[in-house]
Structure 1
């Protein structure tokens, strides 16, 4: 008889607990063990809904709700139809850009040899930086259709993104994917699907930093009108900085490892965001001062 995934994961976690107890003479503190959740949240007949996909839906729903709240508090010219249209284009940008970004930034040789697998999104493999570029392109198309300024739209959208990122990192944690580096901190966690080494729960670090903390900062910063481009710049610099920091605790991808100067691919992709964000904020405030003095 074939056991359900949840039971198999439970047995695997139990095996690792026994292994750790058997070697308790080498351990001086309790060790947290990832629960090895079933990746399927629920099933409806033959349809299985996975946690990671559910987190994407949560992120999109949060965007739609926050956009309406944000539009009201700024008295911005965004009605429900415009927000839904913007969300539609944003979803396309996230999915297409995220997938292509992963293909190009992380595993170009593999997908060059297996091009049919580029379309197999359900197998996993999404890149934030690729999804970010996809969203920028989608906003540009939306701006052209609606006759709006691109930076005006990116300023409006920027504070709405971090909670969606937080939901995605929770999905990573539930799936026990993208674990952290081996560590001896008191809250280290063993991911039985990886090995028996205690590791940083880096998915939760990213949930807290580039998700919750970045949302709080941007939501506060964007509570009133700022020079055009300033909120977008704050997002770029803020996300880039927090992701750069979190990457020190995250295990680099096996097929890439650490790159030049001991930095990960995520850090190399985040560094230009920090520089671009700082430059955009300086430009925005300088332009506003020149406009006021002129």
Structure 2
């Protein structure tokens, strides 16, 4: 199967270009605003509409800054040390989920401290929206023809531009489904079950770590890194600990909290 000829730019107005990947970010943050707004009302958390907007903006900044720094540190530090002028060239690509995750957590903590809110409650609501953003982001990766999978003989394999003449796994679409709808369903059930504060966050960490670790077996490792210990990718080295830690924290949190307190929220 040949990769569909999708122009990464969906709109041109004079010298201005609007890319599908950028649109995916806009869609993700827009969806986050409405989901967070619904969840805040549902749980009677004292956060106004303006507060929701401020939260989404703060986390968006954390994701973008953290995602960029994470990519530089984890995936291509040598290149950026040799080319420091490229550090801010985000339009050329180079974002890391794990860095974005750290940036979102840090910005969320700072936001909650300033507003005197319970961080775990807000994190549960915020990360309820994360699978939506991941789904859109992976679709953007597919449209760009980047982060493709390993060579395969499966009939749905795709010949990607820049990936040689052999068909490869459309690993971006695997990730889009598993990190998106599949993860959302699981953590939504956790949220609807009114588990202790922090359960959705831990559930998301565990689900993402598990699904990313699995999909990495089908995804082509980063060329500048290759395999670690001859078998693992950098994505797996960062994601497997997330699965273990998220699972352990979820179990600990739900054992620690008495049933009568599960689902309790502050106002």
Shorter-chain TM-score: what band? over 0.9
CA displacement, residues 116-148 of structure 1 (integer Å, 9 cap, x when unaligned): 211111111000000000000000110111111
SS at match of 2:87: helix
Superposition pairs of residues 5-24 of structure 1, within 5 angstroms = none
Please say if 1:53 is aligned against 2:38: no
Give the Cα separation in 1 of the matches to 2:33 and 2:259.
35
Query: Which among 152, 155, 165 is matched to residue 124 of structure 2?
Result: 155
CA displacement, residues 185-241 of structure 1 (integer Å, 9 cap, x when unaligned): 121111133211011000000001001111122122212421122111101101100
Aligned equivalent of 1:65: 34
Superposition pairs of residues 198-237 of structure 1, within 5 angstroms = 198-237=167-206
Give the Cα separation in 2 of the matches to 1:129 and 1:192.
26
SS at match of 1:250: coil
Give the Cα separation in 1 of the matches to 2:128 and 2:43.
13
Aligned equivalent of 1:138: 107
SS at match of 1:187: coil
Aligned equivalent of 1:90: 59
Aligned equivalent of 1:281: 250
Query: Does the 8 A contact of 1:74 with 1:225 survive in 2?
Result: no
Offset of 1:285 from its aligned partner? 1.2
Aligned equivalent of 2:264: none
Aligned equivalent of 1:266: 235
Gaps of 5+ in 1: 1-31
Aligned equivalent of 2:265: none
SS at match of 1:75: coil
Offset of 1:290 from its aligned partner? 8.8
Larger gyration radius, structure 1 or structure 2 = 1
Give the Cα separation in 1 of the matches to 2:136 and 2:259.
40
Give the Cα separation in 2 of the matches to 1:73 and 1:146.
19
Superposition pairs of residues 118-197 of structure 1, within 5 angstroms = 118-197=87-166
Give the Cα separation in 1 of the matches to 2:11 and 2:170.
25
Give the Cα separation in 1 of the matches to 2:121 and 2:71.
28
SS at match of 2:11: strand
Gaps of 5+ in 2: 262-267
Runs (4+) of structure 1 exceeding 4 A deviation are none
Query: Does the 8 A contact of 2:190 with 2:199 survive in 1?
Result: no
SS at match of 2:184: helix
Query: Aligned-residue CA RMSD in angstroms?
Result: 1.5
Distance verdict in 2 for CA 1:102–1:83, change over 3 Å: same
Give the Cα separation in 1 of the matches to 2:152 and 2:131.
27
- The number of residue pairs the alignment matches comes to 261
